[in-house]
Chain A
Amino acid sequence: MPDGSRSGAEYSLRIRVNGTDHAVSLDPRVTLLDFLRERLHLTGTKKGCNFGECGACTLHLDGRRVNACMVLAVQADGREVTTIEGLAEADRLHPVQQAFIDADGFQCGFCTPGQVMSAVACIAEGHAGSDAEIREWMSGNLCRCSAYPQIVDAVRAAAAAMAGKG
């Protein structure tokens, strides 16, 4: 942790979020999650635990899934962030988003942005080959409404749809 934090020293950085560049100056203690939510007002990324234990804040940093609560905003300097708000193309939902709707893969919706971002990465990583594999590689994302069977259905369906296209 930089010593400057308590004296209020701020760091300047550039982050590209959902295709838009942001040049900002901030307290180095600020997490990527808080930066997105409080500074950019991108509140789709959720704070479920703030300790990297629940997956609600999952987003993509340079295309890889990370828990945004475990990343300092300064660590994202010069890098590219994709959040749930940046996943759909205009009015067309990402196939994973559509699959979650079709499979009724969520109830309260609070963990859902993290589930969706995790699922997109899970498929891209090649970890959606079987139900058992999906369950294992999606188990970093808690859902207390416990839509787990439907989430597995959604990831399976999305993986098939995306493979068919690609």
Chain B
Amino acid sequence: MKPMKFGIGQAVKRVEDARLITGHGQYTADYLPTGTLAAVFLRSPHAHARFTVSDTSAAKSMPGVRLIATAADVAHLGDLPCVAALGNSDGSKMPLPPYPVLAKDEVLHVGDAVAMVVAETEAQAREAADAIEIDWEPLAAVIEMTDAIAPGAASVWRQAAGNIAYDAHMGDKAKTDAAFSKAAQVVSLQVVNNRLIANYMEPRAAIGEYDAASGRYTLTVASQGVHGLRDILSKQILKVPPENLRVVTPDVGGGFGTKAFMYREYPLVLDAARQVGAPVRWVSDRSEHFIGDAQGRDNLTTAEMALDKNGRFLAMRVDILGNLGAYLSQFAPYIPWLGATMATGTYDIPVLHARVRGIYTHTLPVDAYRGAGRPEAAYVLERLVDQCARQIGMPREELRAKNFVKSTQMPYKTITDRTYDVGDFEGAMRKSLANAGYFDFDRRIDESKRRGKVRGIGFASYIECTAWGDGEEGSVKLEPDGTFTVLIGTQSNGQGHATAYAQVVSQHLDVPLERIRVIQGDSDRIPTGHGTGGSRSIPIGAAMLARASEKLSVQLKELAADKLEAAAADLEIADGRVRIAGTDRSISFEEIAKLPGATPEKLKAVDEFVPPTATYPNGTHVCELEIDPDTGVTEILRYGVCDDFGFTLNPLLLAGQVHGGVAQGIGQALYERTVYSEDGQLLTASFMDYCMPRAADIPEFHFETCNVPSTTNPLGLKGAGEAGSIAACPTVMNAVVDALHRAYGIDHIDMPATPSRVFAAVQQARH
């Protein structure tokens, strides 16, 4: 494909920037229709309790109060659905306990919503919420997964004996047992994948509006896709025809998976708007985000590798406990299972058995967060492979090279039934290690030692799956003024989709980006869509737009052919015009739009792209760091990335995605820890207690690509939104363990490797 000034592959600056940098972004909470009322939620202070709402009359009579709703008042609304039920290994289906829009009689986690108050101002609503009288009867709560599955534990759901939501198996247990019994060596490891809180900078927000004359609802909401919310809300919760609900999502201040789900506040502000006859707005504050939004990760995994005497992997055994919290969030059960499907990673492991159990506890629901299962899988595997290397005394890179799926084996079907189409795992590793000065590392240890520090280097070779499942339909249209409009049902959460999509259109129609308008996030204007998630928007959305743009370019040439009295085959598109190749005879897009034959159908191209299967981004990240044994503080010195994303649409956007993902992984590895007290109080419920990475914590990165084009889409793209967060945790932790092992013989520490944990481990090893 010929290079275009603004086309694909160029480091084009973002079309979104001018608005955002001047404070003119339009986020949900910036929308304040006249007469808007404020909604606040009364939330449970207990992890588990029975309750009765004894009196709301005082609250109802307070100044400005317009509506108070408890469970009894919203019985007409359906429950929040879980759409990802799994089968148990005994063939039964997992039960799906109810997730009501307001808790009735019993609360199951701190923050469980009990009542909604709508008033003229937020302050009035908060005061009224405080005045609602509730009789609480606290009950025994179970918080840790290991406690939840122990005999005699308090029960979250009577449908789920032993607090087990599901008990699913993958692979072949008998073959795995046989392989382990013949193995020359067996290496095992148990790791915690710490629970995370998404903490997008824009807290969730929703505004409900209702037009009594037409019976139509409008929800403006910070989401990851309007169509999915519209369908669930209309069909299952509000029980109105889908055409009676419009869902709009303006600018979004980060989502990371966690803004994808149906949340209780959405139907409730809509229902309230209908009842009070005015727009009703709810804006989460930061505390409410901590106790009101789904959380991420939280696995406890035991993994074992069977090796022959030469270090070849014979079989793998994995036992995953995934904390699902108290209620089943929309995709919750699927997340640990998705991780299990990536259990063997970049390695040729012929035999596997995985057991995956979802566990209920009296904690916030857990669902997808950037990577969703894949970071957990990569973390387990890459920590285990390092452990294998240490135990059998083989260099880490040699053990990996020996066991990698070779590029000559592609397409390669994993024992978990995935097919990797392309990839050069060893090539990526060699390149990344060379860039990082890996083989000169020993020279740098002494320098640290002189300053009283211990130094380590670690790396991880990862593979993940992106852009599977639903396709995406969209359109490109020539407007009368010669500009183009793109309609697409993916949803930017800040990644710069409008820029990337405009580049694709520009590639085919050779117009500057400012003449291309990308419309997202309005269920009235865009017929279908599947939002952002699973790193799908570019591999699927851009692939679809490439085809639609190409189709439109052919249609426009056909229109121009009549006018220019030439064959369409002799025409080319250049500089915003269609011209007869090699001549100066041409016609502008604006003129084409006004031709008599330019019917709406001919000025617009609609296409759909359904991915045949997932794409498989992969690569190797390397981290070098220094630990101060006297304080336990870890400082990252260098971080290098060599990733295969198939094709780079925009190097600037790509680097931003990778850096951001890696930083979130560094946060998980070194800083972020979600702590509940024994009775289920969330102790880390503010930025003072939940440690987020800040500017001083994130190093400069070395980032380069080693792209092998995917065969699954026309542009060869692989999704890039989550890769950084998948690779970074094992990379950083392998470096931490490397440093501690070289200096003190320590071969395990769990995330997050906080100063206090590292300090304690060093003290214990020294004595």
Contact = CB atoms under 8 A, between A and B. Distances in A.
B720 to A, nearest CB: 13
A16 interface: no
A85 B23 CA distance: 6
A147 to B, nearest CB: 6
B692 A47 contact: no
Of A93, A100, A107, A138, the most chain B CB neighbours within 10 A belong to A107
A29 B20 CA distance: 29
Interface string A80-112: 000111011000010001001110101111111
B364 to A, nearest CB: 18
Interface stretch (B456-464, B488-496, B507-515): B488-496
B22 A51 contact: no
A58 B33 CA distance: 25
Contact of A53 (B202, B254, B286, B662): B286
Q: Which of B21, B256, B285, B495 is most buried by chain A, counting CB atoms within 10 A of its CB?
A: B21
Interface in B199-241: 199-203
Contacts of B687: 49, 51, 53-54, 142
A144 B696 contact: no
Contact of B659 (A29, A93, A147): A147
B695 interface: yes
Given A108-B200, A109-B251, A147 B20 contact: no
Interface centre among A41, A45, A93, A110 (most CB of B within 10 A): A110
Given A53-B286, A148-B698, A152-B695, A108 B22 contact: no
B113 interface: no
A104 B13 contact: yes
Contact of B698 (A84, A140, A146): A146
B29 A47 contact: yes
Interface in A24-62: 27, 29, 37-38, 41-51, 53-54, 56
Contacts of A47: 29, 203, 283, 285
B637 interface: no
B659 A84 contact: no
A84 B200 contact: no
A104 B16 contact: no
B481 interface: no
A108 B202 contact: yes
Contact of A144 (B13, B14, B199, B697): B199
Interface string A135-146: 110111111111
Nearest to B689: A53
B217 to A, nearest CB: 24
The DSSP consensus for interface residues of chain B is loop
B624 to A, nearest CB: 16
A144 B21 contact: no
B22 A149 contact: no
B23 A45 contact: yes
A18 to B, nearest CB: 10
A116 interface: yes
Given A54-B286, A93-B22, A107-B660, A144 B692 contact: yes
Nearest to B29: A47
A48 B202 CA distance: 6
A111 B694 CA distance: 13
Contact of B660 (A56, A87, A147, A152): A147
Contacts of A144: 198-201, 254, 256, 664, 692
Contact of B252 (A48, A108, A150): A108
A46 B660 contact: no
A111 B201 contact: yes
A48 B286 contact: yes
B22 A85 contact: yes
A49 B285 contact: yes
Contacts of A43: 23, 27, 29-30
Interface residues of A, number: 57
A12 B201 CA distance: 33
A140 B692 CA distance: 11
Contacts of B256: 144
Contact of A83 (B23, B199, B697, B700): B23
Contacts of B202: 46, 48, 108, 110
A51 B13 CA distance: 34
B660 A112 contact: no
A50 B659 contact: no
A151 interface: yes
A84 B493 CA distance: 21
Contacts of B660: 107, 145-147
B201 A46 contact: yes
Given A53-B687, A109-B253, A101 B692 contact: no
Contacts of B18: 101
Contacts of B13: 101-102, 104
Contact of A51 (B16, B29, B251, B686): B686
B18, B200, B495, B695: most-surrounded residue (chain A CB, <10 A) = B695
B695 A139 contact: yes
A87 B21 CA distance: 10
Given A50-B286, A101-B21, A109-B16, A139 B659 contact: no
Nearest 4 pairs of A and B residues by beta carbon: A44-B23, A108-B494, A110-B253, A146-B663
12 contacts: A43-B23, A47-B203, A85-B22, A104-B13, A108-B200, A108-B252, A110-B200, A143-B201, A144-B199, A148-B663, A149-B698, A149-B699
Interface of B: 13-14, 16-25, 27, 29-30, 32, 63, 123, 198-203, 251-254, 256, 283, 285-287, 493-496, 652-653, 655-656, 659-660, 662-664, 686-688, 692-701
Given A48-B203, A104-B653, A135-B696, 19 more contacts: A8-B63, A43-B27, A46-B202, A48-B202, A49-B286, A49-B687, A50-B285, A53-B286, A54-B286, A104-B655, A106-B20, A107-B494, A108-B253, A110-B200, A111-B201, A112-B21, A146-B660, A146-B663, A146-B693
